[in-house]
C-alpha cells in the first residue's frame, strides 16, 4: 500500500487521466488530503464510490492519532501521538495570552545524546515523515480550537529529535504548513531549533529559508559544551559561528540562542562573560535563558534564583538582548528537555 499523501497534485492529475476520470478529481482528492485532512479514502464523499474503491486498493492515508493528553495547571497540554506503525511521539500545545504555540517532534527518539535531555537518553527509532509532522500541527490546531477557541499562532520544532537530521521531511512539512493550499501559516511564525549541525545550517542558508532559527547552545566554550552535548565534538563553536553567520548573510532570518542554566556548571559570571563574547560573534537577535527542568536520568540541578538574577543582570549590563523563559507544563513533564516516550512500536513493547 502506498501513502496517498506522497502523491503530488500533478501526479494525481496523471493518475486520474489513466483511470479515465476528469482532471478536477485530482484537485478534489488533494483538497481532501491537505485541506480537509481526511483520515480515510472512503471519507471523500464527493468522489464516486467506484473511484474510492479503486484508490483504496493501492493507497492509504497513514494518519497520526491522538493517543492521550495531559493537562497542566498552567494550561499547557502534552499529547502522546500514535503513528501508523505503532511508534509514539510527544507534542505540546503551549497557550499564553498572546500566542498559541505548537511544539512538535521530528523524530522518534534522538541520536544526539545530550546529557540533560530526556529524549537524548532514547535511541532514535526513525524519522517522522513530512505528512506525520503536518498531522502533529493539525491535531494541535484542533486542540487549540477546542480548548481555547483560537488557531495556532506559532510553531516551534523543539520537541523530540533533531530536525536538521530529518531535513527533507522537515522542509516538506514546512512547505505544506505555509502553503495557501495547506494551513497557510507565515514562515516567520515558525522556529526550527537545532543542537548545532553546522553543515545543515549552511544548507538552510543555501535554500533561502524564511523561518527563524534557534541554536541550543547551553555552554559558551567547547570544553563545557563537549561535556553535555556530544555533537559539539564534530560541530564545534567555531564551525557553528561560521555557519550561523553564513545563514544570516543568505537569509536575513532571525537567530536565537537557547541557554539552559545548570547549577555550578554554566551559571557563573565567567560563563556569562564567555556567552557575551560568543553573542558578539553572531548576529543573534536574542538569548533565551531557560530554567532547567530536572529529569531522572541526569545529575543536573537548577541554580538558585539569585544566581539566575546575577547572570541575567550581567548580560543586560553588557547590552545583550536577553529574556528569561519560564518553562510551561512542568507538572506534566512537558517542559523543555522533558519529552520522552516509548522508542519502539507498541506491538514490540506492549
For residue 18, the domain's CATH number is 1.10.150.530
Range of the domain at 156: 65-332
Give pLDDT, residue 327: 64
How many CA atoms within 13 Å lie on the side-chain side of 80?
Answer: 14
Residues sharing a CB contact under 8 Å with residue 160, sequence separation 6 or more, in sequence order:
89, 90, 105, 106, 107, 108, 109, 110, 119, 122, 339, 340, 341
From the list 90, 132, 136, 162, the catalytic residue is 90
Is 6 a known active-site residue? no
Cell triple for residue 224? 563545557
Same-domain pairing of 48 and 179: no
Cell triple for residue 272? 556569562
Give pLDDT, residue 295: 78
Of the residues 40, 60, 80, the one at which a domain ends? 60
The whole-model pTM stands at 0.90
In the chain, pLDDT over 70 holds for what percent of residues? 93
How many CA atoms within 13 Å lie on the side-chain side of 33?
Answer: 22
Number of domains the chain contains? 2
Is 336 a known active-site residue? yes
The answer on pLDDT for 9 being more than 50 is yes
The answer on pLDDT for 297 being more than 80 is no
The answer on pLDDT for 339 being more than 60 is no
Same-domain pairing of 46 and 141: no
The answer on pLDDT for 346 being more than 50 is no
For residue 121, being part of any structural domain is answered with: yes
Same-domain pairing of 123 and 212: yes
Same-domain pairing of 18 and 134: no
Give pLDDT, residue 117: 87
For residue 341, being part of any structural domain is answered with: no
Residues 307-337: tens digit of each pLDDT:
999 999 999 999 999 999 876 655 555 545 5
From the list 110, 114, 117, 336, the catalytic residue is 336
Same-domain pairing of 90 and 43: no
Same-domain pairing of 155 and 34: no
Same-domain pairing of 323 and 240: yes
Compute the Cα dihedral for 50, 51, 57, 60 and give only its sign: negative
Give pLDDT, residue 118: 83
For residue 173, being part of any structural domain is answered with: yes
Amino acid at each position: 500500500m502506498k501513502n496517498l499523501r506522497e502523491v503530488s497534485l500533478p501526479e494525481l492529475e496523471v493518475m486520474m487521466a489513466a483511470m479515465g476520470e476528469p482532471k478536477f478529481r485530482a484537485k478534489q482528492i488533494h483538497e481532501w488530503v491537505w485541506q480537509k485532512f481526511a483520515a480515510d479514502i472512503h471519507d471523500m464523499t464527493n468522489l464516486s464510490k467506484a473511484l474510492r474503491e479503486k484508490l483504496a486498493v493501492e493507497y492509504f492515508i497513514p494518519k497520526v492519532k491522538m493517543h492521550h493528553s495531559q493537562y497542566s495547571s498552567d494550561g499547557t497540554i502534552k499529547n502522546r501521538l500514535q503513528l501508523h506503525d505503532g511508534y509514539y511521539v510527544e507534542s505540546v500545545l503551549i497557550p499564553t495570552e498572546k500566542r498559541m504555540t505548537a511544539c512538535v517532534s521530528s523524530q522518534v527518539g534522538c541520536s544526539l545524546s545530550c546529557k540533560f535531555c530526556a529524549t537524548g537518553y532514547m535511541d532514535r527509532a526513525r524519522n517522522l515523515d513530512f505528512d506525520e509532522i503536518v498531522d502533529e500541527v493539525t491535531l494541535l490546531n484542533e486542540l487549540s480550537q477546542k480548548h481555547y477557541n483560537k488557531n495556532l499562532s506559532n510553531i516551534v520544532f523543539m520537541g523530540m529529535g533533531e530536525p536538521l537530521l530529518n531535513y527533507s521531511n522537515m522542509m516538506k512539512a514546512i512547505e505544506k504548513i505555509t502553503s495557501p493550499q495547506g494551513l497557510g501559516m507565515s514562515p516567520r511564525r515558525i522556529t526550527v531549533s537545532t543542537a548545532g549541525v553546522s553543515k545543515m545550517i549552511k544548507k538552510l542558508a543555501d535554500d533561502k529559508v524564511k523561518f527563524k532559527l534557534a541554536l541550543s547552545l547551553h555552554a559558551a566554550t567547547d570544553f563545557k559544551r563537549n561535556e553535555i552535548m556530544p555533537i559539539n565534538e564534530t560541530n564545534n563553536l567555531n564551525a557553528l559561528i561560521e555557519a550561523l553567520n553564513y545563514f544570516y548573510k543568505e537569509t536575513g532570518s532571525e537567530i536565537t540562542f537557547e541557554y539552559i542554566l545548570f547549577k555550578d556548571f554554566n551559571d557563573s559570571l565567567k560563563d556569562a562573560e564567555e556567552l557575551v563574547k560568543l553573542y558578539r560573534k553572531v548576529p543573534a537577535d536574542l538569548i533565551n535563558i531557560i530554567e532547567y527542568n530536572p529529569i531522572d536520568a541526569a545529575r543536573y540541578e537548577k541554580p538558585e534564583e539569585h544566581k539566575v538574577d546575577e547572570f541575567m543582570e550581567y548580560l543586560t549590563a553588557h547590552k545583550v538582548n536577553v529574556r528569561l523563559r519560564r518553562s510551561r507544563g512542568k507538572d506534566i513533564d512537558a517542559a523543555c528537555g522533558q519529552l520522552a516516550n516509548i522508542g519502539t512500536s507498541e506491538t514490540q513493547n506492549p
